[in-house]
Structure formats: structure tokens, C-alpha cells
């Protein structure tokens, strides 16, 4: 007999590692998300009861078999009812065929279908792929539990009613659809990275995003963009500890103690990003390239800002977003000898973008350039605007310090 | 297979200025669309072009007497100009076909099952 505590740890680990595999394989049998979720949950409960007598060698296989057996029992009992319910559509495969390594990938593409609202895609991915409870999803996304539950329910209903397929998209659809999946994973990471929620939930979300990016790399080893995303997230994660000072204040990349970076994770991220860049210049490859330029520079000042601006220029071609334009302008301001008046004009032009109307980073960037131009009053006003738009406590305190330094 | 209605929303300026040749061109586009649907293994179960929204009448049934007014129920820049009922494999196929549909805005809505013994919408 293994101790209850040890079993709880093993099952918890299995939950993190195998939830999506077990669920996805059960979904393929039931073609019903709710039923599959219930049965997967029951399989983990069963593991807590049974594993004290011996932990199976192949945990994922054991859990999948149990979840599918539960599902078959329930389906048999409810056949007449089930015939009338809308079911997930999938391409013909035999239900006896348990070994389908691409199942989790199908589930990811279903959760991130472009016909679902972005908010729902993120909530559904956290719930179904990461196995978070509705309460954890709510905490991670800083929304109420009722809102999280409503988003998940609405998305599941749409999947069934509109016949959103449980399938990996065809090659010609893949670039567009993969982009949505990668964006959702990045949003999951960002939700953990800059949220104002409790510390533990944040770390949990970033961890889940890294796991998910890793899953995509394993399942699509020949696609450069998942590699690039994983590299990007690893580089960001490696700098995590240095983002907060000892008294819990936000430290910008410019002021970070680079000796506190996780060297091993950084190296892994850089090598992934480099490999991805050799095979394509997609959106995530270019973002990873910028991150790589930052972390391989000996210091903030010695960053190759020319090259950073060039990467943003390339990004603007395939991804003409005002956020990218804002980042480009910010990088431009740091090129040695840059014409700051021209940069300010670039930033002012972005003020008309509806997407940036309530985005605190724009006035913050303007404030910095205005301060460097010696226009103190305008800079203070821009900091005030940025502070009003910022919800994250650490970011707000950071902006206040910058504003206070100007007023001295 | 699942059924979808494609609702085609467009500005009505086209009707004001269209020449006979332009009209024939537009009809050809719809014929080509029908052929593309069949070629994809899906099928068109029905559909129609609608007269301009200025010809619409609305009957409002509230608590009192039914009220007849002129015009469409909702006034928008883009008006409902026609529809198709399509039988497709799944939403991905329906969306791929909607991209081929000669209209600037196509709303794709699944058709609800209201046959005998059907369950209420979840």
C-alpha cells in the first residue's frame, strides 16, 4: 500500500499530465463534451480509490480505459435519449481504436475554433485541455465564476448545435487555424503573467500554457510556429524571477538583474526560437526573435535595437496590428541617435486607433518619449493617463514612481 | 450532415445602379456558387433572393392588437437580401462554402431540429 498522501500526489501529477489525453480520447468515443468530461473526472476519482493497491505502469492508458468504460456504460443506458442529442462531428475512425495520439490536438482545435468567441476559446481551453475547474478558470481570467461557467456552457452548446467538427483542420486551413490556437495559448500565459490575481493561480496558468505549447510541439514537430511560441514562452518564463524586486515591485527588462535569469531555460528557449526562425518567419517566430535579441544582449543599452525594429517591421507586414506598431515605435525610440520627435509623431498617430483607446502602454510610451524630449508637463499628464488605464498593481506603482521622478 | 441557413446581408445600392449586364453577372455568380456547393459534396435545399427592404412590411404582435408597419424589422446599412438552405458535413464545410457565396456578409446559422420527439434547444 502506498500512502494516501503519496497517491494524492501521483494522481494530481497524472491529472496535469494526462487530463487532456484521457478527455480527448473519451470525447472521440462519446462525441459529447459533457459526458466525456464527467467520465474523465470519474476515472481520476477511481484512480484515487484503486491506485493505493498498485500504481499502474501506464497511467494514461489505465485512465483512458476506465473513462471510456464509464462512458460506454452510460451510453448504453441512455441510447434512446442520445440519438436525439446533437453530437460532435468527426471523420470516420473506429471507436475501438484507443491509440489515437492526435486526439488532444483535435480537442485543442475544437476548443479554439474561430467560430467561437475569443473569450470562450480561452475559457474552454483552460477547462477542457488544462483540466482546470470552473472556479480556477474564473480566478485565472479575473472573471466571476458565473461568467466563466456561462462562457464554457455557451461554447459547448455552440460546438454541438453548429456542428463544429472534432478534427485537425485540413492542410489548407491549418495556418489560419493554428494561429488561433497559438494565440489562445499565449493568452493563457499572459493571463498568468500580468494578472492581478492570487500568486498561485498565476503560476499555475503560466505553467499550463508552457505545458500546452509543449504538447503542440510534440504533436506537430514539423510546424515552426509552435516551436517559436514555446521558445518565446520559455524565454519569458526564464526572466520571471527578475521581473519582481525583493520588495515585490515590477522591474522592467531595462533594469533587470540579468544574473537572476534562469540560464538553462533561457538557452532552451533561444535554441528553439533559432530553429523555428530557420524554417519560417511567422508571427510567433518574429516575436521569439525579438525576445531572443533581448536575452542574448549583454545589457539593455547594448541590445541590437536596429534589428529589433526590423523584426517589428516584418511583423507589421503579416500582422498589421496597432499593438505591434506601438512596440515598433517604442523600440525605434531606443535606437541610438533616434529622432525622438519622429517617434512621438508615430505614437501620436496611434492615439486614433480604437484598439489602443484604453491601452495603458500607449500613454506610458508617450510619457517616456516626452520626458526624454524634456517636455516634463506633457510627460506627467501622459503618466497620469497611463496610471488611470492600468489595473495591475505592480505596473501602476511602477508608473507612479516614474511620474514622481519627473516631478522632482 | 447538418443544415445551415446562409443569410446574405448587403447594401442595397447595387439594385439602384445595376445594368442588365451587371444583373446577369450577379446571377452567374450565384450559379457558380451553386455548382461549388454540389462539387464539395454538400447540397442546396432551398433559397431565394428577396425584394428590397423598402418593400418589406412588419407585423408586430405585442400584448395589444397586432400592429402593421412599413419597412424591415431592423433598419441597418446592410439589409437581408436573400438566403440559402445548405446541407453540409459540418461547420467547417459550411464556412468554406460561405466564403464562396457572392455576398459581402454571410451569417451562417444552424437549423434547429424540430422533428417529432426533438429535444428543446440546450
DSSP calls for A231-265? HHHHHHHHTGGGGB-TTS-B--GGG--GGGS-HHH
Q: Could you give the dihedral angle defined by the CA atoms of residues A57, A62, A64 and A68, in that order, rounded to the nearest 10 degrees?
A: 170
CA dist., res. A343 & res. B40, Å (int): 51
Q: What is the ipTM of this complex?
A: 0.86
Distance from A118 to chain B by nearest Cα, in Å?
17
A202 is written with which cell numbers?
498565476
In a domain, B37, yes or no: yes
Question: Which residue, among A72, A81, A80, has the nearest Cα to A28 in the 3D structure?
Answer: A72
Nearest by CB to A163, which of B90, B96, B117? B90
Nearest by CB to A163, which of B91, B112, B119? B91
Residue with cell 547594448: A302
A84 CB neighbours in chain B (<8 A) are 113, 117-119
- Rounded (5°) CA angle A72-A83-B83: 135
Mutant choice from A111, A150, A162, A172 vs B, greatest count of B C-beta within 10 A: A162
In a domain, B59, yes or no: yes
DSSP calls for A315-357? HHHH---HHHHHHHHHHHTTSTT--HHHHHHHHHHHTT-GGGT
In a domain, B122, yes or no: no
Domain holding B92, by residue range, is: 2-110
In a domain, B116, yes or no: no
Distances (CA, A) of B58 to A217, B11, B55, B68, B72: 55, 20, 10, 6, 6
Domain with B70 in it: what CATH number? 3.30.70.1060
In a domain, B92, yes or no: yes
Separation of CA A122 from chain center: 8
Walk me through the domains of chain A, giving residue ranges and CATH numbers. Answer: 1-98 (1.10.1740), 225-303 (no CATH)
Overall domain count for chain B: 1
- Do the beta carbons of residue A295 and residue A240 sit within 8 Å? no
Answer whether B92 touches A (CB < 8 Å).
yes
Beta-bridge mates of residue B110: B4
In a domain, B117, yes or no: no
pTM for this structure? 0.81
What is residue A57's DSSP assignment? Answer: S
Name the residue in chain B with its Cα closest to that of A91: B89
Question: Which residue, among B81, B4, B8, B79, has the nearest Cα to B37 in the 3D structure?
Answer: B4
Distance from B106 to chain A by nearest Cα, in Å?
13
- Rounded (5°) CA angle A160-A161-A164: 55
What is residue A83's DSSP assignment? Answer: T
In a domain, B32, yes or no: yes
CA dist., res. A121 & res. A58, Å (int): 31
Q: Is B64 helix (H, G, I), strand (E, B) or coil?
A: coil
Separation of CA A175 from chain center: 18
**Tens-digit pLDDT profile for chain A (408 aa)?**
578 889 999 999 999 889 989 999 999 888 889 999 999 999 999 999 999 999 999 999 999 999 999 999 888 887 655 554 555 665 554 545 555 667 888 899 999 999 999 999 999 999 998 888 899 888 888 889 999 999 999 999 999 889 999 888 888 888 888 999 999 999 889 888 765 445 555 777 888 899 889 989 988 899 999 999 999 999 999 998 888 887 777 788 888 999 999 999 999 999 999 999 999 999 999 999 999 999 999 999 899 999 999 999 999 998 889 999 999 999 999 999 999 999 999 999 999 998 888 889 999 999 999 999 999 999 999 999 999 998 778 788 889 999 999 876
Q: Is A80 helix (H, G, I), strand (E, B) or coil?
A: helix
A86 CB neighbours in chain B (<8 A) are 113
In a domain, B119, yes or no: no
Amino acid at each position: 500500500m502506498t500512502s494516501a498522501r503519496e497517491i494524492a500526489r501521483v494522481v494530481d501529477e497524472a491529472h496535469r499530465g494526462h487530463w487532456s489525453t484521457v478527455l480527448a480520447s473519451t470525447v472521440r468515443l462519446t462525441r459529447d463534451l459533457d459526458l466525456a468530461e464527467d467520465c474523465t473526472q470519474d476515472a481520476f476519482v477511481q484512480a484515487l480509490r484503486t491506485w493505493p493497491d498498485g500504481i499502474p505502469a501506464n497511467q494514461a492508458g489505465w485512465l483512458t480505459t476506465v473513462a471510456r468504460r464509464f462512458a460506454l456504460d452510460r451510453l448504453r443506458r441512455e441510447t434512446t435519449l442520445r440519438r436525439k442529442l446533437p453530437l460532435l462531428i468527426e471523420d470516420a475512425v473506429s471507436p475501438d481504436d484507443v491509440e489515437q495520439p492526435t486526439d488532444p490536438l483535435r480537442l485543442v482545435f475544437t476548443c479554439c475554433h474561430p467560430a467561437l468567441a475569443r473569450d470562450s476559446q480561452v475559457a474552454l481551453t483552460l477547462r477542457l485541455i488544462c483540466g482546470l475547474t470552473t472556479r480556477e478558470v474564473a480566478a485565472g481570467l479575473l472573471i466571476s465564476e458565473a461568467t466563466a461557467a456561462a462562457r464554457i456552457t455557451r461554447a459547448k452548446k455552440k460546438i454541438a448545435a453548429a456542428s463544429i467538427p472534432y478534427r485537425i483542420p485540413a492542410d489548407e486551413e491549418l495556418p489560419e487555424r493554428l494561429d488561433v490556437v497559438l494565440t489562445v495559448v499565449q493568452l493563457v500565459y499572459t493571463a498568468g503573467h500580468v494578472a492581478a490575481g492570487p500568486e498561485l493561480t498565476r503560476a499555475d496558468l503560466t505553467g499550463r500554457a508552457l505545458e500546452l505549447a509543449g504538447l503542440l510541439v510534440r504533436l506537430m514537430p514539423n510546424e515552426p510556429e509552435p516551436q517559436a511560441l514555446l521558445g518565446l514562452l520559455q524565454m519569458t518564463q526564464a526572466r520571471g524571477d527578475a521581473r519582481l524586486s525583493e520588495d515585490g515591485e515590477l522591474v522592467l527588462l531595462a533594469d533587470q538583474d540579468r544574473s537572476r535569469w534562469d540560464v538553462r531555460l533561457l538557452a532552451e528557449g533561444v535554441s528553439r526560437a533559432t530553429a523555428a526562425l530557420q524554417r519560417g518567419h511567422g508571427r510567433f517566430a518574429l516575436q521569439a526573435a525579438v525576445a531572443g535579441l533581448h536575452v542574448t544582449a549583454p545589457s539593455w543599452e547594448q541590445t541590437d535595437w536596429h534589428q529589433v525594429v526590423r523584426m517589428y517591421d516584418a511583423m507589421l507586414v503579416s500582422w498589421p496590428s496597432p499593438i505591434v506598431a506601438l512596440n515598433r515605435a517604442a523600440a525605434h525610440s531606443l535606437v541610438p541617435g533616434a529622432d525622438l520627435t519622429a517617434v512621438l509623431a508615430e505614437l501620436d498617430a496611434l492615439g486614433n486607433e480604437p484598439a489602443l483607446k484604453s491601452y495603458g502602454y500607449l500613454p506610458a510610451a508617450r510619457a517616456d518619449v516626452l520626458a526624454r524630449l524634456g517636455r516634463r508637463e506633457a510627460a506627467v499628464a501622459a503618466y497620469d493617463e497611463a496610471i488611470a488605464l492600468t489595473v495591475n498593481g505592480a505596473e501602476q506603482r511602477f508608473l507612479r514612481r516614474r511620474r514622481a521622478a519627473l516631478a522632482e | 450532415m447538418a443544415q445551415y441557413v446562409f443569410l446574405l446581408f448587403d447594401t442595397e445600392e447595387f439594385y439602384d445602379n445595376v445594368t442588365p449586364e451587371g444583373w446577369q453577372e450577379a446571377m452567374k455568380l450565384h450559379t457558380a456558387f451553386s455548382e461549388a456547393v454540389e462539387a464539395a459534396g454538400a447540397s442546396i435545399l432551398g433559397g431565394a433572393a428577396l425584394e428590397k427592404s423598402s418593400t418589406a412590411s412588419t407585423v408586430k404582435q405585442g400584448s395589444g392588437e397586432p400592429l402593421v408597419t412599413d419597412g424591415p424589422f431592423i433598419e441597418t446599412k446592410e439589409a437581408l437580401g436573400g438566403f440559402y438552405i445548405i446541407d453540409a458535413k459540418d461547420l467547417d464545410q459550411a464556412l468554406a462554402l460561405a466564403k464562396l457565396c457572392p455576398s459581402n456578409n454571410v451569417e451562417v446559422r444552424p437549423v434547429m431540429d424540430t422533428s417529432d420527439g426533438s429535444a428543446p434547444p440546450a
